[in-house]
């Protein structure tokens, strides 16, 4: 797949995901508390794919062209974050690739670490348009191994049926897998990573 075609396909993937989340948000109504400045989902390290990483790099390049000062501050936050994460990073600190055999270690890893893309002064994401899929789907109920995952700030007072009626319906696994494989082929990096190591 040519890079331009991969970009178009990723844009399609993002549109599908965003539309599904918007539909879930509409059904969630006042139960969904997500709003600009709420940073609950910006604290704590989580794994991202090489497709997410490629999107973040493109977003950072666009930010560097549009606002070099803000991009420089973001890179500085990323370097500071990497310095904090490196001593106990469950993976290769040179590549930023997580070790798939260290999933248990990752459970308790850097749960209080703010995302490097989060501007602490505004409480907003400096790379919002390029954010990973996990960020895009956080908030409304999502199917998880142990039921439905939902932000702890949302759906207070809602019953199980109400929560289930607001679930995000995604059917993007196949497209995401194909695009992730393409991103891994183009970068030569295989496996999941974390935001700070991508943006350093």
% pLDDT > 70, the chain: 100
Note the pTM of the prediction, 2 decimals. Answer: 0.94
Residue 34: the pLDDT is 92
Q: Is the pLDDT of residue 101 over 90?
A: yes
pLDDT score for 146: 83
What is the pLDDT of the chain when averaged over all its residues? 95
Q: How large is the C-alpha radius of gyration of the chain?
A: 17
Query: So what's the pLDDT on residue 144?
Result: 84
Please, are residues 195 and 116 in contact by the beta-carbon 8 Å criterion?
yes
127, pLDDT greater than 90 = yes
pLDDT at 176: 97
E strands in 47-114? 91-92, 97-98
**Nearest 5°: phi and psi at 165?**
-75, -10
Relative orientation angle of helices 173-187 and 50-66, to the nearest 10 degrees: 70
Average pLDDT over residues 73-98: 97
């Amino acid at each position: 797949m040519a890079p331009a075609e991969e970009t178009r396909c990723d844009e399609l993937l993002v549109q599908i995901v965003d539309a599904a989340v918007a539909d879930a948000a509409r059904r969630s109504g006042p139960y969904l508390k997500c709003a600009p400045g709420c940073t609950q989902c910006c604290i704590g390290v989580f794994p991202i794919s090489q497709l997410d990483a490629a999107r973040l790099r493109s977003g950072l390049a666009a930010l560097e062209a549009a606002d070099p000062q803000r991009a420089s501050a973001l890179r500085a936050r990323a370097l500071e974050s990497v310095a904090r994460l490196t001593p106990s990073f469950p993976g290769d600190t040179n590549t930023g690739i997580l070790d798939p055999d260290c999933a248990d270690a990752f459970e308790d890893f850097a749960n209080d670490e703010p995302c490097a893309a989060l501007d602490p002064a505004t409480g907003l994401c400096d790379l919002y348009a390029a954010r990973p899929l996990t960020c895009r789907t956080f908030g409304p109920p999502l199917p998880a191994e142990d039921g439905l995952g939902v932000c702890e700030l949302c759906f207070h007072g809602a019953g199980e049926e109400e929560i289930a009626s607001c679930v995000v319906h995604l059917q993007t696994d196949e497209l995401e897998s194909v695009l992730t494989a393409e991103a891994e082929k183009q970068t030569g990096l295989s496996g999941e990573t974390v935001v700070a190591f991508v943006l350093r």
